[in-house]
Structure formats: structure tokens, C-alpha cells
Amino acid sequence: MAKPKKPVDPDVVRRLASLHCTIEEIAAVVGCSRDTLERRFRAQIHEGKERGKVSLRRKQWKLAMSGNATMLIWLGKQLLEQSDKIENKNSGETVVRTIREPRLPLVDH
């Protein structure tokens, strides 16, 4: 006879995943194993993590639109492919180097 399934609230799993808690942290809170979470709640974990990203993006956008210069520059580099240019003057010639920060994958939801 199979062991009865431990009742786990999928909404709690989703909310913890939206905070980007680790699988181990979520398992400790809901009282089940990592394997159980990955097997039974894969969709809720994925959805929670994606919703967490959207919340973070929303906050970044609000900061940028309120005039936060750092966030405006960062979003410009990420979304508009803008970059910093540094001019070095050496021996009478100007060398322009474009400094690009690594692009992070952006998820549009």
C-alpha cells in the first residue's frame, strides 16, 4: 500500500517560489521533501518564480520612471542596447572603446 500524500498548499509553494526561495527552503516550510516538491509542484514553482521576476521588473520600472538615474542607465543598457564610451587620448590619437556589460536574458510576460 502506498504512503498517503502529505497535504501541501500549492498557493504557499507558489508564494515562496515568487520570493525565489530555494527548493530546500520551500520544502522546509511546507514540510515535505525536495523530490515531492519537484514532482508534485513543478508548475507552481515555475509560475511563482516567473511572477517574482515580474514583480522585480515592475519595481525597477517604477524606480526608473521616478527618475532614478542608475536604474534608467541600467535599463537603457539592457533594453535599448546602449553602452558607455570611454575616450583615451594617447600619442595625439583618439581611441574610442565601447564598454558593454553582459546582457541578461529578459523575460517578457
**In the chain, how many domains are there?**
1
What is the per-residue pLDDT across 73-104, written as a single tens digit (0 to 9) for each?
988 888 888 887 766 666 666 655 555 555 55
End-to-end CA distance of the chain: 43
The whole-number pLDDT of residue 28 equals: 97
The whole-number pLDDT of residue 84 equals: 79
Cβ-based neighbour number of residue 102 at 10 Å: 5
What is the per-residue pLDDT across 18-73, written as a single tens digit (0 to 9) for each?
999 999 999 999 999 999 999 999 999 999 999 999 999 999 999 999 999 999 99
User: What is the SS3 assignment for 81?
Assistant: coil
Assigned domain for 104 exists? no
Claim: this prediction has a pTM higher than 0.75 = no
Assigned domain for 105 exists? no
Assigned domain for 28 exists? yes
Print the domain residue range for 27: 10-99
